[in-house]
Each structure stands twice: as C-alpha cells, then as structure tokens.
Amino acid sequence: MVSKFSPQTHVKGYFIAKNKQILKNKNGKDYHSLRLQDESGIIDAKIWAFHSAIEPYQSDQVVYVEGEVTLFLDQLQFNIFKIRPAKDGEYDLSTLIPHTNKNIQQLEEELYLYIDSVTNSDMKNLLEAIFLDEETYKKFFTKPAAKTIHHAYLNGLLEHSVTMTRIGIFLSNLYDNVNKDLVITGCLLHDIGKIDELSGFPENEYTDAGQLLGHIVLGTNRVALEISKLKGFDPDLANFILHILISHHGEQQYGSPEVPKSIEAMIVHLADYTDSRLKMLEEILANTKDAKYTGFNKILGRNIRNTNYNK
C-alpha cells in the first residue's frame, strides 16, 4: 500500500497509472513522469531507463510495476524498473480506488437530517428536489470532492459536504443574525457542480464541462435551474443561495466571481476553507508519520511540523 511505503524498499504490485508525461532530462533523454495510485494514496513515480521490462501503458490504466521507493527533496518517489498493463483477473479494482474511511450510511443519514432540519419551505423544497433525484443522488454520494487537493476519493464529496455543514452550524450558533437554514443549504449545495466537473473513478479526471466551465458555474447553473422549477420561490432568497455558490472560494483570485457579501456566505466560505485545509493536513501527516517535517507543500505554502514525532 502506498501509505506504507518507506525509502530504500523494493516494491512490486498493482496500481493505477495517473498523469503520464513524457519529458526530457538535462541530457535531452526521454523519461516518464507519472503517479501511482492505490486505495491508500498516491505517489510520484519516474521511469528513467527504457528496456524490455518497460512495456507500453496509458494513464488511468491498471498496471503491474516493480521498482524502488526513494526519497527526493523530502518527498517519497517511486523509481520504476518494470511496468506492464495488468491483465483481467489479476487485480481487485476496489483495492486501487481510494475511498473515505468514514461510515457511509452514517454520512447519508446525517445529510438527510440536515435537510429535514431546514424549516424554510423554499429551501427545503430545493434541497429535496436535488438530493431526492436518483441520478443526482448516485453522483453526489460517490464522487470525490476534488481531483487531487482534498477529499480526492470515492465518497469524498459526501464526506466534505457533511463535515462542512457541521462546521457551518457550529459557527452559526456562535453569532446573532445568522440564517441557519441558509447556511445549511449553502454548505450542502456549494460543491454540487463537482458531480458534473469530475468523471469519477477510476479516472477521476475533469470532464469537458469541468474544464470549460468549472464546478462553480456548473453548480450555479444546476441550482438556478432547479429554483426556476419551484413555483413561488422567493427571488431574494434565490439570489442569496446563488451568491453563496459563486462566492464560496472567498476571493476572486481563487476562482469566485464575487467575494462573500453576507454573513451566511462568509460562514460557508470559512467552513469550506477550514475543512479542505485541515483534511489536507490530516492526509499529509498520515503519510509522513516517521518524519519530523512533512516537506514543503505547494498548496499550503509551508513545511508542516509533525508534533506527534518525538524521535
């Protein structure tokens, strides 16, 4: 399992090849840069030398590999000596797809409890129209919340949305003049566009719509369409909900067309930021238990100290 890898160990097994690139080294010779994934995680990999044991393969293909795990710039790297496409029956796909370690049934039940707790009829009708739709239900409960950054695994969108709602409700209870129904609705719907943005596993790649429009536009369009089907929906409330969707990244430089301009939109943004960043930290620390520092993380912009490391 990728999560158990340590430097200077020889590894062989089945993985999903991801993000294959053919690059050139400083001497002008080709090498392959890719990532290897199983249910426990993903690791950067390289093919430096080409010979008969390096057979043709493609991205998002299950492959059999042999190689050595090394440490490069404080990050684990897999140097591949042998690779070939896996044959049918050689592997169990369920062991190669990352998935939440949370109880799925409990997450589903919690989501529907939040929907049931909404007292505003317009918002409750909107949530039920979306989450009781069979096709939407299937996509939402299985899709990841991201391609790589956080909750990038099976059921990740469900886990992220439920955790965000917990945070949103907690923050709502600390302050006056907060519409808790609006916060719950915003938390549950903020990433609904992810069901159209990402293909799901085993590829977990951006769809054409995801590349061209992105999940904020896709989600806003989906929710606006559902609102248009609900007769008598309060137009001001519709704008409040759509504003939360388009502003949940917090700043225009991070992809939101508008910054949060209501207390509910700010709560949803902070809940999203909190859960996404803390989940990243949780995953980074889980993969670097035996290191004092995790190595520089480009997304977080820092090198994380593992406070549980005491060697």
What does the radius of gyration of the chain's CA atoms come to, in whole angstroms? Answer: 22
Asked whether the whole model's pTM tops 0.85, one would answer no
d(CA 54, CA 199): 29
d(CA 306, CA 294): 7
- 297 pairs with which residues across the strands? 302
Confidence tier at 8 by pLDDT (50, 70, 90): confident
With CA atoms as reference, report the closest residue to 171 among 248, 282, 266, 278.
266
Q: Is the pLDDT of residue 216 over 90?
A: yes
Q: Is the pLDDT of residue 75 over 80?
A: yes
pLDDT number for residue 211: 93
With CA atoms as reference, report the closest residue to 60 among 27, 39, 41, 36.
36
Which of 143-152, 197-206, 297-306 comes out lowest in average pLDDT?
A: 143-152
CA dihedral 1, 296, 269, 162 (to 10 degrees): 20
pLDDT number for residue 284: 81
With CA atoms as reference, report the closest residue to 15 among 71, 52, 50, 62.
62
Q: Is the pLDDT of residue 203 over 80?
A: no
With CA atoms as reference, report the closest residue to 277 among 300, 253, 249.
300
For domain 104-284, the CATH superfamily is Hypothetical protein af1432 (1.10.3210.10)
Specify the DSSP element, H or E, that contains 273: helix 263-286
In this predicted model, what pLDDT tens digit does every residue of 255-279 receive, in sequence order? 899 999 999 999 999 999 999 999 9
User: Please, what's the b/e burial string for 203-235 (b: 16 or more CB within 10 A of its CB; e: otherwise)?
Assistant: ebbebeebeebbbbbbbbbbbeebbeeeeebee
pLDDT number for residue 90: 92
pLDDT (average), residues 120-137: 96
Q: How large a percentage of the chain has pLDDT more than 70?
A: 99
Which of 11-25, 154-168, 247-261, 285-299 comes out lowest in average pLDDT?
A: 285-299
Confidence tier at 294 by pLDDT (50, 70, 90): confident
Is 2-95 a domain of CATH 2.40.50.140?
Answer: yes
Query: How is the chain split into domains, by residue range?
Result: 2-95, 104-284
CA dihedral 18, 21, 25, 27 (to 10 degrees): 140
User: Which residue reads 């909107």 in tokens?
Assistant: 126
Contact 44, 21 (CB under 8 A): no
Q: Is the pLDDT of residue 69 over 80?
A: yes
31: region left, alpha or beta (phi > 0 left; psi from -120 to 50 alpha): beta
**Ranges assigned E (strand) in 267-310:** 293-297, 302-305
